[in-house]
């Protein structure tokens, strides 16, 4: 994903969608205290920048239904509808989470593990990073903001904030 900075409004909309992707634009507007046009524009930006790649529903399997984790070389041998989750490894292989009954089919796998419990971590902070608009480094600590002509810029430290202010002031002249 390319380096992009999200505005406060885009961040609010994204966090709201992570919590509940089924909300309508009107409902998101109420939750975030934004108007509908702003919410629509934020969603359009987030999808165009591929921050949001799909709106989905995760269905939890029944507690008594066992799943397996297969390491395989060829992903095509498992139909897309049978894949619960897929990880592509750096060595070109795949790890696929699927239902136990998939073992009844003739699938070539390198290893198989039984999954006792699956836990989702849908934390948006792990997916989106914020970068300094002056030096380009990832901001790991407090985000400092510079407001200029209806736009908000981000800085990673006081030096970058000061230099960014100077740069924007020079551009105005």
Q: Give the integer Cα–Cα distance in Å for 114 and 100.
A: 8
* Structure tokens that stand for 160 in this block: 């970058």
pLDDT in tens, 94-118: 999 988 888 888 888 888 888 877 7
pLDDT at res. 36: 93
Q: Give the integer Cα–Cα distance in Å for 158 and 81.
A: 51
pLDDT over 50 at 161, yes or no = yes
pLDDT in tens, 39-81: 999 999 999 988 888 877 666 655 567 788 999 999 999 988 8
Q: Is the pTM of this model over 0.85?
A: no
Q: Give the integer Cα–Cα distance in Å for 15 and 151.
A: 20
Bigger pLDDT: 120 vs 17? 17
pLDDT at res. 118: 73
Place of tokens 């619960």: 84
Write the CB contacts of 39 (distance below 8 Å, at least 6 apart in sequence): 13, 25, 28, 29, 32
The whole-number average pLDDT for the span 73-96 is 89
pLDDT in tens, 1-41: 556 778 888 888 988 888 888 889 999 999 889 999 999 99
pLDDT at res. 52: 86
């Amino acid at each position: 994903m390319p380096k992009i900075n999200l505005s406060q409004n885009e961040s609010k909309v994204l966090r709201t969608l992570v919590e509940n992707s089924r909300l309508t634009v009107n409902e998101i507007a109420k939750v975030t205290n934004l108007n509908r046009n702003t919410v629509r524009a934020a969603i359009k930006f987030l999808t165009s920048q591929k921050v949001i790649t799909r709106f989905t529903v995760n269905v939890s399997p029944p507690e008594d239904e066992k799943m397996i984790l297969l390491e395989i070389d060829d992903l095509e041998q498992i139909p897309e509808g049978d894949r619960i989750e897929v990880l592509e490894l750096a060595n070109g292989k795949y790890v696929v989470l699927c239902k136990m009954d998939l073992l009844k089919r003739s699938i070539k796998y390198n290893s198989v593990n039984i999954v006792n419990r699956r836990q989702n971590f849908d934390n948006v902070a792990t997916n989106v990073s914020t970068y300094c608009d002056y030096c380009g480094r990832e901001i790991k600590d407090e985000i400092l903001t510079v407001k200029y002509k209806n736009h908000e810029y981000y800085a990673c430290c006081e030096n970058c904030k000061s230099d960014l202010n100077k740069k924007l002031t020079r551009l105005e002249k």
